[in-house]
Chain A
Amino acid sequence: MGNILEIENLSKKYPDFTLDSLSFSIPQGTIMGMIGENGAGKTTTINLILNEMRKDGGSIKIFGKDHLEYEKAVKERIGVVFDDFHFPDLFNANEMELFLKGIYATWQPKTYRDYLNRFGLPLDKQIKAFSKGMKVKLSFAVALSHQPQLLILDEATSGLDPVMRDEMLDILLEFIQDEKNGVLFSSHITDDLEKITDYITFIHKGKLLFSKTKDELLYHYGLIKCGAETFNQIEKADIIAYRKQDYEWQVLVADKEEARRKYRKCIIDSVTISEIMLLHVKGEKK
């Protein structure tokens, strides 16, 4: 199975920020979660993929094709959902379809109507009267109604209540049932990412910290909680990052089982994506 998205050494320089040689790929049939603090470079990466801005270096291949050389063909098969709603809110869902089917050659009226029915969205009501959740649902309906193979979500579920978020995550899981498809899901809500992603890419200050399978992170990484004395005994090579909280040291290690064998006196817990992110961003290296 090939990669639906391949990014190699992607770079973009601004006066106050640099995206530095970012490389990762999304295999077909998988969901990639992209995490990082605000300003880490997630939206910049998405904007570069969509050619919203010009890259300074590196390559981006979507469906095995250069994203600039085959820009129109590639975008025909990409569905995008942003955090903000960018459609004209004086329009209704019917009018949205009128102009979108003039843009996408592969627009599927039936699919669009099916999603509107499923989400309980009215056809003739102005979008400005929609709730935030309804607008997100409409964005998903639009993104999924032109037979996309790659979905790009930029904080798409932010601001939704847990029930609605869960509904949207189900949609993604359905979408990925077709093994030709793939999803790039940038989000701060690490709970969502833990639920549905296959891979996690972590960007910090414009640099790639890691791009790994979620299982590798959740099942192999561990969090040692110990006092100062034990902390001093932990080998430097075993520590990815650590931080001190009151009287407790929290240490992120890459191999939980190995750490359990080596440091028998310590409590070694499983780790969440949120904790991995926090320790990388706020923690220190020994």
Chain B
Amino acid sequence: MNGLIIKDLITLEKQKISTIAGLLFTTIAFLIFWQSTGALLLGAVVLPFLTIFTPFTFRASDEQWKWDTYAISLPVSKKQIVASRYLSCSIISIAYFLFSLALNIGVYFWFQDHSITLHLASAFIGLGVSLLFGFLILPTSFTKGLEVSVWVLVILAIIFIGVVVIIKKANFDIFSLSPTPSQITLLMGLSVATLIGIFIGSYLVSVAMYRKLHS
């Protein structure tokens, strides 16, 4: 299965110049325009948005090369083929998370505008959002192809924007929040549990659909 993950990572490595350039440009632009708030926005919204394109990149490559036909002849089970894709997407999300974490910690010490908790929360929320989107998109990308997956992403994006708009209309000031450590722990616990639940459901659906596709 390692080989399948390496294949995905080499596929992404082919786009490393455009990815790094895009990432640096976006980061610098956000920091110039919004200083420390820019780092919060990057961590919680922009970077997860960039990572959710990872499953599409993988799927587009697979479709272009008709990789599935060959993958079936390899000594890996269908479960492993599905699992490797989840792992590849998770590795990319974690890489972006580490970047976001480093950026937010650096920005906190540089500007000291917002609390370190908020900066850390931004990075962790970003990781959660990118994993969540990945887990929601992967089952469709496996079985329905690129086009349908794009539609799923559009629907998810509309829901996500909708939630943001509702929060904004309710005049909810996230920066004024000062949750207690126990509230943060509870929230994190609930978020992780929800994410794990969605991951398990998504993975089982993907395996079942992938098996059905090749039956």
Contacts and interface: CB of A to CB of B under 8 A. Distances in A.
A100 B14 CA distance: 18
A98 B14 CA distance: 14
Contacts of B65: 85-89
Contacts of A75: 73-76
B14 A82 contact: no
Interface in B1-38: 1-7, 10-11, 14
Contacts of A91: 10
Interface string B59-70: 001000111011
Interface stretch (A49-57, A108-116, A213-221): A49-57
Contacts of B75: 71-76, 103-105
A90 to B, nearest CB: 5
B214 interface: yes
B77 interface: yes
B215 interface: yes
A103 B3 contact: yes
Given A52-B214, A101-B3, A86 B11 contact: no
Given A72-B75, A72-B76, A103-B76, A52 B10 contact: no
Contacts of A78: 73
Contacts of B214: 51-54
B9 to A, nearest CB: 9
Majority secondary structure, B binding face: helix
Contact of A86 (B10, B14, B66): B66
Contacts of B66: 84, 86
B91 interface: no
Nearest to A71: B77
A85 B64 CA distance: 11
A102 interface: yes
Contact of B14 (A72, A80, A90): A90
A86 B6 contact: no
A47 B70 CA distance: 10
Contacts of A73: 75
A247 interface: no
A47 B65 CA distance: 18
Contacts of A51: 72, 214
A68 B163 CA distance: 47
A72 B77 contact: yes
Contacts of A90: 11, 14, 61
Contacts, number: 80
Nearest to B212: A54
A91 B2 CA distance: 17
Interface residues of B, number: 24
Interface string B91-125: 00000000000000000000000000000000000
A95 interface: yes
Contacts of B67: 86-88
A52 B72 contact: yes
Contact of B74 (A85, A95, A103, A152): A103
Residue of A51, A52, A101 with most partner-chain B CB within 10 A: A52
B10 A98 contact: yes
Residue of B7, B14, B66 with most partner-chain A CB within 10 A: B7
A102 B6 contact: yes
Contacts of A84: 66, 69
Given A71-B77, A72-B77, A50 B72 contact: yes
A62 to B, nearest CB: 12
Contacts of A152: 73
A86 B65 CA distance: 5
Interface string B162-195: 0000000000000000000000000000000000
A76 B77 CA distance: 12
- 7 A-B pairs with the lowest CB-CB distances in the bound complex, closest first: A102-B3, A103-B3, A86-B70, A102-B2, A75-B75, A99-B7, A80-B73
Interface of B: 1-7, 10-11, 14, 61, 65-67, 69-70, 72-77, 214-215
16 contacts: A52-B69, A52-B214, A53-B215, A54-B215, A71-B77, A80-B70, A82-B69, A86-B69, A87-B67, A88-B7, A89-B65, A90-B14, A99-B3, A103-B3, A103-B74, A103-B75
